[in-house]
Structure 1
Amino acid sequence: MAASLGAFVLGTPDPRRLAGFYAQLLGWVEVEGADPSFVRLRAPERERPGLSFQLEPDHEPPVWPPRPGTQQIQGHVDVLVDDLETEVARALALGATREEHQPGDGVVVLRDPDGHPFCLFLEGS
């Protein structure tokens, strides 16, 4: 078998809460599991890749845009959308915040409730 992406993992002080945010944002479902320190989501129609949330009690949100000597972004989630304005409004209603610094047209940088940057973008942006 060739290697393939299984999941992208975000550290968080509250895995279940952050998983709930992304489940609503993406329309994904939580994979059953008994360990509250690690929660995995998947798309309803496929098992992998997924998005997982790992307990990190001392999580420090990164600085955006990055500056030397500050907490750097270790990764971020890009979410493809059909209607940027509608999806930004929906993300904000779910608890996201909009970053002041934006990279350009067709993409909006937001932060999830734990401060992880994520981008909503139109295809081709």
Structure 2
Amino acid sequence: MTTSLGAFVLGTPDPPALADFYRSLLGWEEVSREPDWVRLRAPERERPGLSFQLEPDHVPPVWPQRPGAQQMQAHLDIMVDDLDTEVARAVSLGAAVEAHQPQDDVRVLRDPHGHLFCLFLP
């Protein structure tokens, strides 16, 4: 049996809006769009993709984590060539930089719907 990762899915109260953020951030293409589901892919390959599903009661995680609070289940790591430039671009698209930054060559940000993601240098 052959297996491969097909997509990573983020739950959000507004799939089209969050898909637009990541489409702009990553430069990916939209494959399909419905009110409750949107799928993106890299221009040069079909899979893995990034999808967004409707979760009206989505609660963003806390960062850094602490007992008794909503925990982060996963996050995206996005490699960039110029950390300062890409952080500024992500912020201009609607991301927020987190106060707690654990490493000099990584920036922890929050997308417009509260999911954490990291920009990092190779």
TM-score tier, shorter chain, comes to: over 0.9
CA apart distance, 1:2: 1.6
Q: State the match for 2:119 in structure 1.
A: 120
Instruction: Report Cα offsets for 1:49-88 as digits up to 9, x if no partner.
Output: 0000010000000000000000000111110000000000
Q: State the match for 2:68 in structure 1.
A: 69
SS of equivalent to 2:32: coil
Amino acid at match of 1:54: Q
CA apart distance, 1:105: 1.2
SS of equivalent to 1:108: strand
d(CA) in 2 for partners of 1:37 and 1:103?
35
Q: State the match for 1:54 in structure 2.
A: 53
Instruction: Report Cα offsets for 1:16-66 as digits up to 9, x if no partner.
Output: 000000000000011134x32011000011100000001000000000000
d(CA) in 1 for partners of 2:101 and 2:10?
22
Amino acid at match of 1:105: D
Q: State the match for 1:22 in structure 2.
A: 22
Q: State the match for 2:2 in structure 1.
A: 2
With the length of structure 1 as denominator, give the TM-score of the two structures.
Answer: 0.95
SS of equivalent to 1:32: strand
2:32–2:40 contact (8 Å) kept in structure 1: no
With the length of structure 2 as denominator, give the TM-score of the two structures.
Answer: 0.97
Q: State the match for 2:97 in structure 1.
A: 98
Amino acid at match of 2:29: V
2:87–2:119 contact (8 Å) kept in structure 1: yes
- After the TM superposition, which parts of structure 1 deviate over 6 Å for at least 4 consecutive aligned residues? none
State, as a whole percentage, how many aligned pairs show the same letter: 73
d(CA) in 2 for partners of 1:9 and 1:113?
16
The answer for unaligned runs of 5 or more in structure 1 is none
